[in-house]
Amino acid sequence: MIVKNSRLARILKVNGIVLYPFIFLAPADPDPVLLNHELIHWAQIRRHGVIRFYYLYLKEYVAMRGQGMKHDDAYRGISFEREAYENAHNLAYLTSSAPSSRT
Ligand SMILES: [Zn+2]
């Protein structure tokens, strides 16, 4: 379920966040690239499973912070974020070239 004009997203100071099964977007009329970025995360969750996705996401972030990286660099370095940022502008990514679900 996609929630636009999300107060939660604004409180968390993010443009968008996936808290499966919800996608919270701060804008009332979100940019397609932002929506695609969050939908890529949605697909990643479907690919890995909810618990494994968030575990791996936090594990990578904490490991990079532990190596002394700043928040923004660690966040951008998470493999899930790299896939989402590298492919968000390709609005056909999820229907064409994304790794397929294992289920
Ligand atoms: Zn992201």
pLDDT in tens, 45-65: 999 999 999 999 999 999 999
> For residue 17, how far is its CA from the centre of ligand 1 (angstroms)?
7
Tokens of 43: 């697909």
Q: What mean pLDDT value characterizes the chain?
A: 94
Average pLDDT over residues 96-103: 66
- Predicted pLDDT at 46: 95
What per-residue confidence (pLDDT) applies to 57? 98
Distance 91 CA to ligand 1 centre (A): 15
C-alpha 100 – ligand 1 centre gap (Å): 19
Give the global pTM.
0.91
Rg (CA), the chain: 14
DSSP code string of 44-88: HHHHH-HHHHHHHHHHHHHHHHHTT--HHHHHHHSHHHHHHHHHT
Ligand 1 centroid to 102 CA: how many Å? 21
